[in-house]
A and B are shown apart, each in its own frame.
Chain A
Amino acid sequence: MNDAATAGSARARELETRIREEALFGRLPLLKGEREYSTRGILATGFSYAVAAWCFLIGGYAANYVGAVEGMVALIAGSVAGVTMSSAAAALACNRYGLEQIDYTKTGFGQNGAKLVLVFYVINQIGWTGMILVMFARGLMNTAKTFGFDGGETLVRVAVLVGLVICYLVVIKGVHVLNVFNAIITPGLVIACVFLFWSIFKDDGWSKLVAAAPIEPTGDGPLDSVIAFEMGLGAGFSWWPGIGFLTRNTDTQRNSLYPQILTMGLGMGVVCCTGLLAGLLFRDGDPTVWLPLVGGKVFGTAALLLLAIANISAGAIMMYTGALGLRHVRALHKVPWKTLTLITFVPMLPFVVAPTTIYEKGSSFLTYNATMFAPIAGLLLVDYFLLRKQRVNVSQIFEDGPKGHYRFLGGFNVVAVGCIMLGQLLYVWLLNPVTYEAHGPVRVLTASGPAVVVPMLVYWLVSKLWLIPKGIGGYGAPTAALPVERPNI
């Protein structure tokens, strides 16, 4: 009798734990009393996200096109503007309703349309993970080189594979392990940044920096400036997939918005400048090349190792959120976590086969993030603020039945999907993110500007003229909870 009662109690506890995990790390709406981040907490977390290894990479890319002053303005302005655009709608909605980001996106794109956004989301996670793992591998290669061992591309390939395996093991064991990593990495990176700024600015560094020409400019000044700005914006927009994951856990609307702008926008922009200035000074944008040059063998090796650990940690977090995102696909609902994570890792294999080739195209990937997320962010702003007046029906987000408010047409808000395609095509026409071939008024209007504003206007107009009068999409419908007939969780 006692054994049965103990077993029953253990089952109840296990069930409670799984439900709690489903709320914190899964898709259940997070309640007001469960929010963990106050101002201090979200600032600390946002800062540990912002001071990440890729900042050095982003600054290094910008050093190819612009000088010190122009680059600093472009990177800081771009990342602040990008993060503000990314976080405004998603942060406030995810905070108010405790929603996971892709779930919130269903209100704008439809139950199936949100899965298209999920594809961009997963590309972002896989792309950044791959890039920083190659950076990790090149860091190891260059560290080995300073000790007289030149492993070349083979060592890079092996190290990327090892990095992938470590990330996989961390993800399946639980990302809680990373809290320990981050306790060391974040202060370490802050110290490294301060040391880097000091090293760069000592001995007339500033006058040298101002005089330093960009490494590989296109020769078209205004275009170079726009490319650098688009890199800053790309860095800011890269946060779009992660915003909801953080802000649903904040305690107020203001804490869901301003700390992100301050840390992931302003903070990241400033740290990116380290990469920019070091790149200009040492004439190479690759941090795995200039880090040993800045601080000599000891500091360089320590910094590269720190970067290596930071990259593994960041890679594991991104693969974790990428795998979580795949839970939105009904066919993958019941796939065991280990298998689901493995599926997320499969598209990473090209980074093992041709690491350096892909790494050298990193700046294109950075700009492509602006291409992907600028129109999405703009459209959600119109949908949440202007059309829905900051109110959604949470029960309908989880309703997969044909009468659900966010079914739109066959599960797709065709207007929203059409508008993001319009925005992305417009961006690529204005500034090809791979070749940087430019057309039209890109030098004056930038590429992200029209790619955000035009879809916003078209979406607002077509919604007012068609979606809302036809009663499609639940605009203006009561937000009181309705019974969920076919839950999509």
Chain B
Amino acid sequence: MDQAAFEAALKDELDKRIGEVSDYRDDAFGHIGAGEMAVVFVACVLLPVVLVLVLR
């Protein structure tokens, strides 16, 4: 395939996709808020660290 034609098509496709994903709203994929993230960090980062330090 002609490389120049591919690169031109790639650039067009890139522009099209950038436009589309830039328009996705916060809840397009279900938003994870600050509170939920805080719970994740306490449960999956802080708690494991504390467990290791306490149970050794």
Contacts and interface: CB of A to CB of B under 8 A. Distances in A.
Interface of A: 11, 14-15, 18-19, 22-23, 28-29, 31-32, 69-70, 73-74, 76-78, 80-81, 84-85, 88, 92, 95-98, 221-222, 225, 229, 251-254, 256-257, 261, 265, 334, 385, 390, 393-395, 398, 444, 446, 449, 479-481, 483-484, 487, 489
B17 A85 contact: no
Contact of B40 (A76, A88, A96): A88
Given A73-B55, A265-B44, A446-B49, A29 B18 contact: yes
A481 B21 CA distance: 9
Task: Please list the 7 inter-chain residue pairs (A to B) with the smallest Cβ-Cβ separation, ordered nearest first.
Answer: A77-B48, A225-B56, A84-B44, A481-B22, A81-B48, A252-B30, A29-B17
Given A15-B9, A449-B49, A487-B11, A394 B3 contact: no
B10 to A, nearest CB: 6
A18 B3 contact: no
16 contacts: A28-B14, A70-B56, A80-B48, A88-B40, A92-B32, A253-B31, A256-B29, A261-B40, A261-B44, A394-B18, A398-B18, A480-B22, A481-B19, A484-B14, A487-B14, A489-B14
Interface of B: 1, 3, 5-6, 9-11, 13-15, 17-22, 24, 26, 28-32, 34, 37, 40-41, 44-45, 48-49, 51-53, 55-56
Given A77-B48, A385-B37, A97 B21 contact: yes
A66 to B, nearest CB: 8
Contacts of A95: 29
- Per DSSP, chain A at the interface is helix
Contact of B48 (A78, A98, A334, A489): A78
Given A80-B48, A484-B18, A251 B29 contact: yes
Nearest to A452: B45
Nearest to A258: B40
A14 B21 CA distance: 25
B35 to A, nearest CB: 12
Contacts of B30: 252-254
A340 B37 CA distance: 39
A76 B48 CA distance: 8
A31 B24 CA distance: 10
A81 B53 contact: no
B52 A28 contact: no
A88 B48 contact: no
Contacts of B5: 15
B51 to A, nearest CB: 5
A18 B8 CA distance: 13
Contacts of A31: 17, 20-21
Contacts of A390: 26, 31
A59 to B, nearest CB: 16
B34 to A, nearest CB: 8
Contacts of B29: 32, 95-96, 251-253, 256
B40 A84 contact: yes
A28 B34 CA distance: 29
Contact of A394 (B21, B26, B44, B51): B21
B21 to A, nearest CB: 5
Contacts of B44: 80-81, 84, 261, 265
A481 B18 contact: yes
A46 B28 CA distance: 23
Nearest to A221: B56
Contacts of A334: 3
Contact of B32 (A70, A225, A257, A489): A257
Among B3, B5, B15, B22, the most chain A Cβ lie within 10 Å of the Cβ of B22
A229 B56 CA distance: 10
Given A14-B1, A84-B40, A489-B10, A394 B22 contact: yes
- Give the residue among B6, B29, B49 with the most A Cβ atoms within 10 A: B29
Contacts of A484: 14-15, 18
Given A81-B49, A88-B37, A254 B32 contact: yes
Nearest to A18: B6
B14 A96 contact: no
Given A15-B6, A77-B49, 6 more contacts: A28-B17, A84-B41, A96-B24, A98-B21, A254-B30, A256-B29
Nearest to A14: B1
A73 B22 contact: no
Nearest to A98: B21
A75 B55 CA distance: 13
Which one of B1, B6, B52 has the highest number of Cβ atoms from chain A below 10 Å of its Cβ?
B52
Contacts of A229: 52
A101 B19 CA distance: 19
B22 A393 contact: yes
B51 A73 contact: yes
Q: Among the interface residues A31, A449, A481, which one has the most CB atoms of the partner chain B within 10 A? A: A481
Contacts of B11: 487, 489
